[in-house]
Structure 1
Amino acid sequence: MHKFYFPKTLRLLNSKEFSFVFQKPQRAYSSQINIFGRANKLKYPRIGLTIAKKYVKLAHERNRVKRLIREYFRLNQHKLPSMDFIVIAKKEIVYLDNFTILKKLEKLWQRHFQSF
């Protein structure tokens, strides 16, 4: 049975970890969300989030998007390959409802499965 924890070890926390992913990323993107990924030497995936105030102006909207992305990652971390992921939200994401955001994330992460 899997445990669906989301400890600090599953997060990208500093600029060095983010830079590692941005050096040679595998990209999956839509008009609302970009997901950059790069294989890591750990035995588990990690995630970092970037949601700019410039694109998502209201704090409650940024928090909603972050919550959805983290929850999707937490529930599906055992299916994901051992990669570091950076999820970048674009301007149009505020117009999507929660269900649509989760479907977009599913579709984008499937592209990382195929390329790994």
Structure 2
Amino acid sequence: MGENNFSRELRLLTPTHFEYVFNNAIPAVSPQLTLLARYNESNNPRLGITLSKKRVKYAHDRNRIKRLIRESFRLQRHSLPNIDIVVVGKSGLDKLSNKELFSLLEKLWKKLALRCEKSQ
């Protein structure tokens, strides 16, 4: 496993962590996902995911999407700055295949990293 794990230090765990990002976020937006980011004090990027039942109806779809988001983040985190990221799902997200979602996330990670560099 080594450096590519998804440990507790890489997650946003409390509502306070999420609120911190929502208050002054740098966005990266697509029709199915919104990524919000804000610089953190830790020495690595952290991830939080919000998928509501209203947007993604079935639990198995929400779980699949969350697994794919975590896996994509795990693979891309070394190219991201030290930011807290909240991924917000929108309607139509459950219609994407695994491959489509993975490629969308890859584009959004890059877009977010560029926007964070510009804002610093």
TM range (shorter): over 0.9
Partner of 2:16: 16
The aligned runs of 1:45-64 (5 Å cut-off) are: 45-64=45-64
* Cα offset, 1:110, TM superposition: 1.1
Confirm whether residue 32 of structure 1 aligns to residue 42 of structure 2. Answer: no
Q: TM-score, normalised by structure 1?
A: 0.95
TM superposition outliers: structure 1 runs of 4+ over 4 Å: none
CA RMSD of aligned residues (A): 0.9
Alignment: residue pair count? 115
Contact 2:76 2:109 in 1 (8 A): no
SS in 1 for 2:92: helix
User: Which structure has greater helix proportion?
Assistant: 2
Counterpart residue number, 1:76: 76
Report the alpha carbon displacement of residue 109 of structure 1 after superposing the two structures with TM. 1.2
CA distance in 1, matches of 2:80, 2:20: 19
State the identity as a percent.
42
Q: Which runs of 5+ in 2 are unaligned?
A: none
- Secondary structure of the residue aligned to 1:75 is helix
Q: TM-score, normalised by structure 2?
A: 0.92
